[in-house]
Amino acid sequence: MSGAELFFYVLAVLAITSALAMIFTPRPVYAVLFMVVNFVAVALLYLQLEAPFLAAVQVLVYAGAIMVLFLFVVMLMGPAPAPLWEHIPAQRPLALLFAVGLLGALATAIRKGAFTPLTGTMSSAIATAGGQSQALAEHLYNRYLLPFELTSLILLVGIVGAVVLARLPRQKNPTTD
């Protein structure tokens, strides 16, 4: 087994076991930590897929920012919070059935799938731009400008929304004069 394959196996096993551990652990803080492990494993997979910038973004944003946010809220919530709805008798088994069924369907689809193979080692866009970060930057500000601007708007709306929803309630007094 070559080095690349070993690397892949280790990461795949790590990602999958940490995902399962996250689902089944009863403690929310452990779940968040398992997720962080999962995200780091996936980031390393991106490295193997020759996408170093994305690996860095994955660690910074996903493992770094989003999971820290989760951790904060988990800590603020205290011990097991009240469930959202009444106990549906077969919820877990049904979910399991659905998820496993979907997995089977996807696995079959992937096995039978025919994907146009890649010719060459690195796409020409990267080659002409002289490196991946440079190519990404060029695309971000040129071809993908609209999505880029829209992501900044979506983050703004996220901030406004989070403030509107989570702010401590003010005293109910009329407008100050």
Site for another protein in 3-22 (CB under 8 A): 4-5, 8, 12, 15-16, 19-20, 22
12 contacts: CB under 8 Å, gap ≥ 6: 45
Using rule CB under 8 A, residue 39 touches another protein: yes
Q: Would you say 39 and 59 are in contact if contact means Cβ atoms under 8 Å apart? A: yes
Binding string to another protein for residues 109 to 138, with x set by CB under 8 A, is what?
Answer: xxxxxxxxxxxxx-xxxx--------xx--
Task: Show the DSSP H helices in 3-83 as ranges.
Answer: 3-24, 28-48, 52-57, 67-77
Q: Tokens in use for 107? A: 């696995």
Using rule CB under 8 A, residue 54 touches another protein: yes
Distance in Å, CB of 130 to another protein, minimum: 14
Using rule CB under 8 A, residue 68 touches another protein: no
**SS3 label, residue 59:** helix
Sign of the CA dihedral 134, 136, 138, 141?
Answer: negative
Distance in Å, CB of 166 to another protein, minimum: 4
Using rule CB under 8 A, residue 166 touches another protein: yes
Closer residue to another protein in complex, CB, 61/130 = 61
**Any idea which residue has 């007094």 for tokens?**
173
Using rule CB under 8 A, residue 171 touches another protein: no
